[in-house]
Amino acid sequence: MSNTNIQQIIEKIFQLENQLKEDQYTKEQIQNFFSYHHYDVFILIYEPKTILKILQNHTWNIINNQKDILLPFDVIGYALFFKNDSEQLLELHKIVIDSKFRGRGLAFDFLSQILNDYKKLNYRKIFLEVSEQNLPAINLYKKLNFKIIQVRKKYYQNNIDAFVMTLDI
């Protein structure tokens, strides 16, 4: 993938971030996720429905499809993971599905397939933090069998609590 293509993907992720009400990443932050080896960025392509894991050298692995992917493609979601490789632990920092495509099971499918991919790489456990007010996300994680293990009181702005959730994979 050329640098131009990576820039297009960064632009798409930035557009997805712009749909969020809070905690939006800047373009610079998104750029950095592609540079640090402890981050993995996955993107969800609409047609044909495909998940790409973007690698540090800006190539990609296709994790759910045998077909080659031709550019340009339509990015409709992304997920950002932080990896602790020494302990084989993961943190899910962000998952966003384009608002036009929500409520069709895409996030569930996307995360299920990513977790399956990590399992093959011998990762053991995944953690995340979520606002107590983000019901779509909490329900999504519960459907994936995540359990709440801790409540961080007044963790977010406006004294909103955070749930710490975890899943053994």
Ligand X SMILES: CC(C)(COP(=O)(O)OP(=O)(O)OC[C@H]1O[C@@H](n2cnc3c(N)ncnc32)[C@H](O)[C@@H]1OP(=O)(O)O)[C@@H](O)C(=O)NCCC(=O)NCCS
Which residues form the interface with ligand X (CB under 6 A)?
20, 94-97, 102-108, 130, 134-137, 139-140, 143
φ and ψ at 4, to 5 degrees? -60, -40
- The C-alpha atoms of residue 63 and residue 42 are separated, in whole angstroms, by 9
**Least distance from ligand X to the Cβ atom of residue 1, Å:** 24
Contact in structure between 18 and 30 (CB atoms under 8 Å) = no
- List of residues 6+ apart from 50 with CB closer than 8 A: 44, 62, 64, 65, 67, 69, 73
Measured from the CB atom, the residue of 1 and 129 that comes closer to ligand X is 129
**Least distance from ligand X to the Cβ atom of residue 70, Å:** 25
Measured from the CB atom, the residue of 58 and 135 that comes closer to ligand X is 135
Measured from the CB atom, the residue of 58 and 142 that comes closer to ligand X is 142
**Least distance from ligand X to the Cβ atom of residue 59, Å:** 26
